Amino acid sequence: MKVAIFHDYFSFIGGGEKLVLTLARHLGADIITTNVDRALISRMGFHDVNIISLGRLTRIEPLKQIQATLKFATCDFRGKYDFYIFSGNWAHHASRKHRPNLYYCHGHVRVFYDLKESTISSIKPLPARLAARAWIAVHGHFDRISLQRICLIVSNSRSVAHRLKRYLDKESVVVYPPIDTSRFHYDGDAGYWLSVNRLFPEKRVEVQLEAFRRMPEERLLIIGGSDRGDYSGSYARKIMESLPPNVTVLSDVSEDELASYYGRCRGFISTSMDEPFGMTAVEAMASGKPVIAPKEGGYLESIIDGETGLLIECTPEALIKAVKTISKDPYKYREACIEQAKKFDVSIFIKNIEELIHAGLGDRG
């Protein structure tokens, strides 16, 4: 069985990219994408995965998204593969020519739906705001048409499945993302807190900065970056310009280095807004480390409040209180964290996806 996985782009490695690379390796699948930083993928340990690029995209938004949509909509790999998987926000536009298929939904294009009005209202110049509304209306229309051609939608959490049902009236199967729990280990407490996320506005990293500005005795290490030229660029610059002395930001960290940082931190922090799932939180738990995260989105499904961490309101005050609570005895969360992480192991993910692929091939017949 030959499988192709379409994914938007590989300009940096986040949870979605790790999932696609992991799935491609286990299925022996080819990845079809646009922008691809092959050196970065090699550093992440996935040099053996075959990646086909449809060509590079402009950095200017929303031209980047429009160009990606057109590349996927017009590409043609019919007859070369037995099954097609789509991942990301734009790759599913290849569904018109590629069946049978499966769309693994990490959260979908939220700016078209639940974040539409807040995104538009945040744009100050009136002409730009009107242009954004027009783009969302037109591109959102084609997005809905493309989803009609999907044979099966798989959501990465119940939170995302609920969102798809609410805004698009689409049913989906829930399969949690894969965590290779064997790669993570508890290596003591080096006294710093860890945060791993892209420097995007919806990650609300400014809440972390403000909390640690008020806790000069604590240290925070943020591992993450942004895609240059996209909408997150100005936000990332503001974050880097407003770092308190006890906060450090690193980027381009290898998978082995990341596992080491997990293993030696005191605990893990996320402030992501309505996170679809949150693979980094599970990676932290696999390392025996408690997680502090907002009580919303996928964190409600992965974190056991009071046992594997603390679910909080996303404010500096709540984060400070949680840090001080866990700091009293971070070790007591260790065993519960490790056991909880096993529920999301990569072996479970691969088994579930393979079953869905074989069911999809059977339906074709």
Task: Mark whether 328 and 360 lie in a shared domain.
Answer: no
The residues, any chain, with a CB within 8 Å of residue 330's CB and separated by 6 or more, are: 189, 266, 267, 289, 290
SS3 236: helix
Q: Which of 115-124, 154-163, 228-237 has the lowest mean pLDDT?
A: 228-237
Task: Mark whether 291 and 167 lie in a shared domain.
Answer: no
197, 270 contact by CB (below 8 A): yes
Task: Mark whether 28 and 162 lie in a shared domain.
Answer: yes
Task: Mark whether 337 and 355 lie in a shared domain.
Answer: no
pLDDT value, residue 102 = 98
pLDDT value, residue 227 = 57
In what helix (H) or strand (E) does residue 291 lie, and over which residues does it extend? strand 291-294
CA–CA distance, 6 with 285 (Å, rounded to integer):
30
Per-position DSSP letters for 20-59, written without gaps between them: HHHHHHHHT-EEEESSB-HHHHHHTT-TTS-EEE-----S
pLDDT value, residue 254 = 86
Query: What φ, ψ does residue 51 adopt, rounded to 5°?
Result: -125, 130
SS3 299: helix
pLDDT grade for 253, boundaries at 50, 70 and 90: confident
Task: Mark whether 126 and 274 lie in a shared domain.
Answer: no
CA atoms within 13 A on the CB side of 331: 4
* Mean pLDDT within 315-330: 98
* Mean pLDDT within 52-58: 97
Q: Which structural domain, as residue segments, surrounds residue 46?
A: 3-178+345-364
The predicted model scores a pTM of 0.90
* Mean pLDDT within 219-245: 81
Task: Mark whether 123 and 218 lie in a shared domain.
Answer: no
The answer, yes or no, to whether residue 31 has pLDDT greater than 70, is yes
Helix residue spans in the chain (DSSP H) = 15-27, 38-43, 63-74, 116-121, 126-147, 158-168, 205-213, 233-241, 255-264, 279-286, 299-302, 316-327, 334-341, 346-364
Q: Count the domains in the chain.
A: 2
* Mean pLDDT within 39-56: 93
Query: What φ, ψ does residue 165 adopt, rounded to 5°?
Result: -70, -40
CA–CA distance, 186 with 84 (Å, rounded to integer):
38
SS3 95: helix
Task: Mark whether 256 and 334 lie in a shared domain.
Answer: yes
Task: Mark whether 10 and 138 lie in a shared domain.
Answer: yes
Task: Mark whether 59 and 152 lie in a shared domain.
Answer: yes
Task: Mark whether 96 and 135 lie in a shared domain.
Answer: yes
The answer, yes or no, to whether residue 209 has pLDDT greater than 70, is yes
Task: Tell me the β-bridge partners of 38.
Answer: none
pLDDT value, residue 173 = 97
The residues, any chain, with a CB within 8 Å of residue 41's CB and separated by 6 or more, are: 10, 13, 21, 47, 49, 51
CA–CA distance, 62 with 347 (Å, rounded to integer):
37
CA–CA distance, 118 with 273 (Å, rounded to integer):
13
In angstroms, the Cα distances linking 333 to 13, 73, 186, 299, 304 are 28, 47, 11, 16, 10
174, 161 contact by CB (below 8 A): yes
Task: Mark whether 234 and 339 lie in a shared domain.
Answer: yes
The enclosing domain of 188 has a CATH number of 3.40.50.2000
Task: Mark whether 72 and 130 lie in a shared domain.
Answer: yes
